A and B are shown apart, each in its own frame.
Chain A
C-alpha cells in the first residue's frame, strides 16, 4: 500500500509540482514577463504577458517539416531529451526546505544535466543538415565551454564554504546547502560568497542564451542558427525548453545563494521561490537584454574566462582559506 502511495507521490512530483506542469506554466510566465518588461524598457507597449503561451500553442498547430537531409530520429528526439533533462533538474532543486528528489552529490548531477539541453540542441541541429545550424552549433559549443568553467568554480566555492562550516570538507548536496543556509543565513550575505554570486548571475544569461550572449541564435545573421530548420511541434518544444531554462537557472541561483528565506510552509515557499526567480530574471535577463547589443563569440569566451571566472576564483580562494 505504502509503495503504491509513494509511487503516486513521485509521479505527482514529476508531472505536477516541481515537475512538468509547474515548469511549463512558470517557465512560460517568466518568459512573458521578460518580454513585456524589455518592451516597456524600450518604450513599447509590448506583447501580452501570456504571449509565450500563444506562441507555444500556435507552434503545436503548425505543420512539422522534416528536411530531406535530416536524420529523422535524432531530429525529432533531441528537443524532447533537452526538455526532460531540464524538468529533471527542476525536481532536484530544493524549494528552501522541500526537495522532491535529493541525493549525496546532486550538485554534480545538476552540473551534468545542465549540459544535456545544450547538447540536445547541438545534436538536433547537426541532424538537421543545415549550414546555418552548423554555424550556430559551433558557436553554441564555444558558449557552453565559456560558461562551464565559471559555473564549476562557483559550485566548488559553495561546496568548500559549506563543507568547511559543516566540517565535512566538500559538501555537494543541495539539500545540505539549503539546510546550512536556513541555519546560518543566505550565502549571498556571506562576504566571501558575494563574488561567486555575481559570477553565477553573469552565467545565467550565457546559459539561457539571451542577450548579449546569444551569438549562437543570432536571428539576423544566421537565421536563428541551430533552430533554422525546425518548425511546428519540435520548435515549440525548443521554445518551451528555453523558457524552462530561465526558471531552472534562476531557481538554482535562489537555492544556492538565497536559501534560508523560506517559511517552512511548502505552498508559501513555492510562491516566494517564484517571486525571487522573477526578480533575478528581470535583473539579469530583461534589464541586460534591454541595454546591451550582441557580443561576438570570441568576446563571449574572453568575458567568461577572464572577468566571470576571476570573480568565481576570488570566492574559491576565500572559501579555501575558510573565510
Chain B
C-alpha cells in the first residue's frame, strides 16, 4: 500500500553520515559548506545525521589510513539498508598524493562497494551536491530492488 510512497520518499530524504578516514580536513570543510545558506543541500532533503544508524548515505573522506580501516568498515556496517557509499575527494578513490605510502590501506573500493566517487582535491560544492543527488537516485533504486 505504501510501497510507492516509501520508494519516492527514500530518494527525497537522504541523510548523510560523514566519516573522516585520515583526511586533511579540506574535504570535511567542503562537505559542511554544501549545507550552508549559499549551496543549501537541505532543499533536496539532505541532512547531516549524528549517528550512523540514522544515515542513508555514508560520505567517506581521506585516504583510508591503516588505523582507520577497521573503524570505517565497522561504521559502514552499522548503517541500515538501503545505504549508499560516496567517496569524497581523490584520496579514498586513488590514494591521491599518499598513494604508495605504507600507512595507507585504501582505496576504499578494495573493501566495500562504492556507489559514487566525487573526485577532486577538494571537489567543488557543486560537484559534491551533484554526486550526492546521484547517490540519492541510487538509494531509491536500491529500495525498489528490496521489494
Q: Do chains A and B interact in one complex?
A: yes
Residues of A in contact with B (beta carbons under 8 Å apart): 39, 42-48, 51, 53-58, 60-65, 132, 219-220, 222-224, 227-232, 235
B53: which of A39, A55, A65, A220 is its contact (CB, 8 Å)? A65
Residue pair B6, A47 in contact (C-beta under 8 Å): no
Inter-chain contacts of A56 with B (CB < 8 A): 9
Report the separation of the CA atoms of residues A132 and B78 in the bound assembly, to the nearest whole angstrom: 15
Residue pair B9, A224 in contact (C-beta under 8 Å): no
Residue pair B51, A228 in contact (C-beta under 8 Å): yes
Q: A57-B6, A63-B81, A232-B80 are in contact. Are A44 and B53 (CB under 8 A)?
A: no
The smallest C-beta distance from A63 to any residue of chain B, in angstroms, reads 4
Inter-chain contacts of A51 with B (CB < 8 A): 12-13, 45
Query: 6 A-B contacts, Cβ less than 8 Å apart?
Result: A47-B44, A53-B9, A55-B13, A65-B53, A220-B50, A224-B51
Contact with A along B3-36 (1 / 0, CB 8 A): 0011111101100000000000000000000000
Q: Other than the known A48-B43, A219-B50, A223-B50, what 16 A-B pairs have Cβ atoms closer than 8 Å?
A: A39-B43, A45-B40, A47-B45, A48-B45, A51-B12, A51-B45, A57-B2, A57-B6, A58-B12, A58-B56, A60-B2, A63-B80, A228-B53, A229-B51, A230-B54, A231-B80
Inter-chain contacts of A62 with B (CB < 8 A): 56, 80-82
Inter-chain contacts of B50 with A (CB < 8 A): 219-220, 222-224, 228
Residue pair B6, A60 in contact (C-beta under 8 Å): yes
Residue pair A235, B40 in contact (C-beta under 8 Å): no
Residue pair B54, A58 in contact (C-beta under 8 Å): no
The smallest C-beta distance from B139 to any residue of chain A, in angstroms, reads 9
Does B138 count as interface, using CB distance less than 8 angstroms? Answer: no
Inter-chain contacts of B42 with A (CB < 8 A): 39, 44, 46-47
Residue pair B81, A43 in contact (C-beta under 8 Å): no
Residues of B in contact with A (beta carbons under 8 Å apart): 2, 5-10, 12-13, 37, 40, 42-45, 48-51, 53-54, 56, 78, 80-82, 143, 146
Inter-chain contacts of A64 with B (CB < 8 A): 80
Residue pair A46, B43 in contact (C-beta under 8 Å): yes
Residue pair A132, B51 in contact (C-beta under 8 Å): yes
Report the separation of the CA atoms of residues A227 and B101 in the bound assembly, to the nearest whole angstrom: 39
Of chain B, the residue at the smallest CB distance from A219 is B50
Of chain A, the residue at the smallest CB distance from B14 is A58
Q: A44-B37, A44-B40, A63-B80 are in contact. Are A227 and B51 (CB under 8 A)?
A: yes
Q: Which of A42, A47, A61 has the most CB of B within 10 A?
A: A61
Inter-chain contacts of B80 with A (CB < 8 A): 62-65, 231-232
Inter-chain contacts of A235 with B (CB < 8 A): 53-54
Q: Which of B6, B7, B43, B53 has the most CB of A within 10 A?
A: B53
Report the separation of the CA atoms of residues A223 and B18 in the bound assembly, to the nearest whole angstrom: 12
The smallest C-beta distance from A228 to any residue of chain B, in angstroms, reads 5
Of chain B, the residue at the smallest CB distance from A218 is B50
Q: A63-B80, A132-B51 are in contact. Are A54 and B40 (CB under 8 A)?
A: no
The smallest C-beta distance from A221 to any residue of chain B, in angstroms, reads 9
Residue pair A58, B81 in contact (C-beta under 8 Å): no
Inter-chain contacts of B6 with A (CB < 8 A): 57-58, 60-61
B10: which of A46, A61, A223 is its contact (CB, 8 Å)? A61
Residue pair B54, A231 in contact (C-beta under 8 Å): yes
Inter-chain contacts of A43 with B (CB < 8 A): 37
The 7 closest A-B pairs by CB, nearest first: A219-B50, A61-B6, A63-B80, A57-B9, A231-B53, A54-B13, A54-B9
B45: which of A42, A54, A228, A231 is its contact (CB, 8 Å)? A54
